[in-house]
Chains A and B, each alone.
Chain A
Amino acid sequence: MICRAPTLEGSDEDQLLRVSLGPQHPSTHGVFRMNVVLDGETVVRLKPVFGYLHRNHEKIAEGTSYLASMPYTDRLDYICPLSNNWAYALAVERLAGVEVPERAEYMRVILAELTRLINHTAFLGFILGDMGAWGSALMYAFREREKILDLFEDLTGARMMANFMRFGGCRNDLPTGWAERVSVIVNDYGPFLDEMEKFLVGNEILLSRSQDVGQLPKEQLLNGGITGPMLRAAGVNYDLRKADPYGIYERFEFRIPLGEKGDCYDRIMIRFLEMRESLKILRQALAQLPEGDYIHPKAKLRNFKAPVGEVYSRIEGPKGELGFYLISDGATNPYRYRVRPPSFVNLTLLEDMCLGLDLADVIIILGSIDIVLGEVDR
Chain B
Amino acid sequence: MNADPESILGLLRGALPGVHISLRKNPGPSAQHSLLIEASGLVEASRFLRDHQEFDLLSNVTGIDWPDPTKADKVAPTEDEGAIAPEVGFLEVVYHLFSTTRRVGPLVLRCRTKDRREDVRIPSLVSVYRSAEFQEREIYDLFGVTFTGHPDLRRILMWDEYVDHPMRKDYVAPDDYEYEPTPHDAVLEKAKVHYPAPS
Contact = CB atoms under 8 A, between A and B. Distances in A.
Q: Is there direct touching of A and B in the complex, by C-beta distance under 8 Å?
A: yes
A347 B138 CA distance: 13
A229 interface: no
Contact of A323 (B96, B100, B157, B167): B96
Interface residues of B, number: 41
Contacts of B130: 220, 223-225, 348-349
Interface residues of A, number: 48
A266 to B, nearest CB: 18
B56 to A, nearest CB: 5
Contact of A308 (B74, B157, B171): B74
Contacts, number: 126
B48 interface: no
A345 B135 CA distance: 8
Contact of A340 (B60, B64, B75, B166): B60
A172 to B, nearest CB: 27
Given A312-B96, A314-B59, A329 B75 contact: yes
A224 B32 contact: no
B60 A338 contact: yes
B117 interface: no
Interface stretch (A17-25, A79-87, A94-102, A175-183): A94-102
Contacts of A347: 134
A51 B29 CA distance: 35
B134 A96 contact: no
A310 B105 contact: no
Interface in A134-154: none
A306 B28 contact: yes
A309 B129 contact: no
Given A50-B156, A325-B62, A344-B134, A309 B57 contact: no
Contacts of A223: 56, 129-131
A348 B133 CA distance: 7
Interface stretch (A54-62, A117-125, A206-214): A54-62
B28 A310 contact: yes
A224 B157 contact: no
Given A54-B158, A238-B100, A225 B28 contact: no
Contact of B157 (A50, A95, A226): A50
29 contacts: A51-B158, A56-B142, A56-B166, A56-B167, A59-B167, A95-B29, A222-B100, A223-B131, A225-B129, A225-B130, A244-B1, A307-B27, A307-B29, A310-B26, A310-B76, A312-B106, A313-B30, A323-B60, A325-B62, A325-B94, A328-B75, A335-B64, A335-B71, A335-B75, A336-B62, A338-B62, A344-B135, A347-B134, A377-B157
Given A223-B131, A309-B28, A335-B64, 12 more contacts: A50-B156, A58-B167, A95-B28, A223-B56, A236-B100, A310-B28, A325-B94, A327-B75, A329-B71, A329-B75, A340-B96, A345-B59
Interface of A: 50-51, 54, 56, 58-59, 94-97, 219-220, 222-227, 236, 238, 243-244, 306-314, 321, 323, 325, 327-329, 335-336, 338, 340, 344-345, 347-349, 377-378
Kindly list the 8 A-B residue pairs having the minimum CB-CB distance in the complex, ordered from nearest.
A309-B28, A225-B131, A97-B29, A311-B30, A51-B157, A340-B60, A224-B130, A54-B157
